[in-house]
Amino acid sequence: MKIITSTQEIQKVTSKLREKNKSIGFIPTMGALHEGHLQLVRESKTKNDVTIVSIFVNPTQFSPTEDLTKYPRPIEQDKKLLRREKVDILFYPSTKEIYPTDFQTTVTVNQLSRILEGKSRPTHFAGVSTIVLKLFNLISPTNTYFGQKDFQQCIVIKQMIRDLNLPIIFNMVPTVREPDGLALSSRNIFLNSQERLQAVNLYQSLLFGKKLILLGNKNVQKIKSEMDNYLQKYKLIRLDYIEICDSENLSPLKVVSKKAVILISANVGKTRLIDNIII
Ligand code: PAF
């Protein structure tokens, strides 16, 4: 696996690949890799000549209250995992390389960045869309792969690709889960054993919501309040939101009539977790 740290070099290498008509699959990550990320890599490897992964803990998507310094950075372990998956190139730039001191541009997908996660993390998606666009510009991938767990992030990036006419195919890959159903996340390591036991109920509540819908319940308010009731007994879970939205554009639904997604966000202890299920 070739490791590239400079923006100039990654651009040089990827433009050579394009000259040779090689397809490039690209997976942006912040490291602390788990099976969910590796699944994205495997998808990419089946469809592209070259697979590139980036590891960059992007400071601009953290708010001042979120602890950027605590974000796990097990880089040697990550490299080992990527080598095992036969990733061709790891792009691993420094913060200075990505954000030189005179950096001043932000890209925002306006409406989609304000709803759901955006309500309690108002600057988060501007940070995400800006870094992802930068990485897309550096790599010019044919395909990019994102995990369904971050469903809103997927919709934001898809919208940005459409709005800015980026010639990139967006691929959303289903969430990988622990055997008990908890969605894999780099943040799960922050859960203590009691929190870990209760955290699985986020997914259980999503399954419960889906069951209600499949049984014929269409009233979104009713389904949300039943899910909320279900979660009440788990005292370590502090619910932020349950929303049922159109899975194409995240517009909120009152009645489940079209392709819907249930999204949930909660603090389990001090750890913020999100999950979703497509109906
Ligand atoms: O999902 C993530 O890990 C990050 O938001 C991403 C897409 C790598 C941008 O920093």
Q: What is the pLDDT of residues 175-222, one digit of tens each?
A: 999 999 999 999 999 999 999 999 999 999 999 999 999 999 999 999
Check pocket membership of 98 for ligand 1, CB cut-off 6 A: no
Task: Kindly indicate the confidence band of residue 238, based on its pLDDT and cuts at 50, 70 and 90.
Answer: very high
Name the percent of the chain in helix, strand, coil, to the closest 5. 45, 20, 35
Dihedral angle sign, alpha carbons of residues 104, 109, 114, 118: negative
- Kindly report the protein residue whose alpha carbon is nearest to atom 5 of ligand 1: 128
Find the 58 Cα to ligand 1 centroid distance in Å.
Answer: 8
- Kindly report the protein residue whose alpha carbon is nearest to atom 6 of ligand 1: 29
Check pocket membership of 118 for ligand 1, CB cut-off 6 A: no
In the chain, residues under CATH classification 3.30.1300.10 are 186-278
pLDDT at res. 267? 98
pLDDT at res. 67? 85
Measured from the Cα of 132, ligand 1's closest atom is: 9
Q: Class of the 186-278 domain?
A: alpha beta
257: pLDDT strictly greater than 90: no
250: pLDDT strictly greater than 90: yes
In the chain, residues under CATH classification 3.40.50.620 are 2-173
In the set 37, 121, 158, 272, the catalytic residue is 37
Domain covering 2-173 in this structure, CATH number: 3.40.50.620
Test site for ligand 1: of 91, 135, 153, 168, most ligand atoms within 8 A of the Cβ: 153
- Kindly report the protein residue whose alpha carbon is nearest to atom 9 of ligand 1: 128
**Cβ neighbours of residue 159 closer than 8 Å, sequence gap 6 or more:** 109, 112
Check pocket membership of 131 for ligand 1, CB cut-off 6 A: yes
Active-site residue, 37 included: yes
Task: Kindly indicate the confidence band of residue 258, based on its pLDDT and cuts at 50, 70 and 90.
Answer: confident
Instruction: Decide: 83 and 134 in contact? Cβ < 8 Å.
Output: no
Measured from the Cα of 61, ligand 1's closest atom is: 10
pLDDT at res. 252? 97
54: pLDDT strictly greater than 90: yes
Amino acid letter for position 80: K
Measured from the Cα of 29, ligand 1's closest atom is: 8
Supply angle C-alpha 160, 165, 167, rounded to 5: 105
Q: Hey, what are 269's tokens?
A: 């202890």
Q: What is the pLDDT of residues 87-146, one digit of tens each?
A: 999 999 999 999 999 999 999 999 999 999 999 999 999 999 999 999 999 999 999 999
On average, the pLDDT of the chain sits at: 98
Check pocket membership of 30 for ligand 1, CB cut-off 6 A: yes
pLDDT at res. 25? 99
